[in-house]
Structure 1
């Protein structure tokens, strides 16, 4: 059984366009993740407080 491998040459501009698109998409995903985590800071979710104090239920917003 013979296998045939085909190759293609890509211009530098084509490679830059692909890598630039991947980089922008990755940065967008990271930014979305950071925004999501930032929204949880200072909140109590399911009885686990982010400030280390025990709590009950769900409390959103500033804690005193």
Structure 2
């Protein structure tokens, strides 16, 4: 969906984009930092740390 550019009188330099409700929702979504990615990254780090501890303990028991 291409956006139109509303031009004011010549020399005003007005380049307002018409905002639909959906556009403002998109802008709000962009303004709110996405925490889900951060949480999944922490979860990955935690699970890899736990699995590392378990493999270390298993190797220690086997030797």
Into which bin does the TM-score normalised by the smaller protein fall?
Answer: 0.3 to 0.5
Greater relative contact order: 1 or 2 (C-alpha under 8 angstroms, separation 6 or more)? Answer: 1
Structure whose alpha-carbon radius of gyration is higher: 2
TM-score of the aligned structures, taking structure 2 as reference length: 0.45
TM-score (norm 1): 0.45
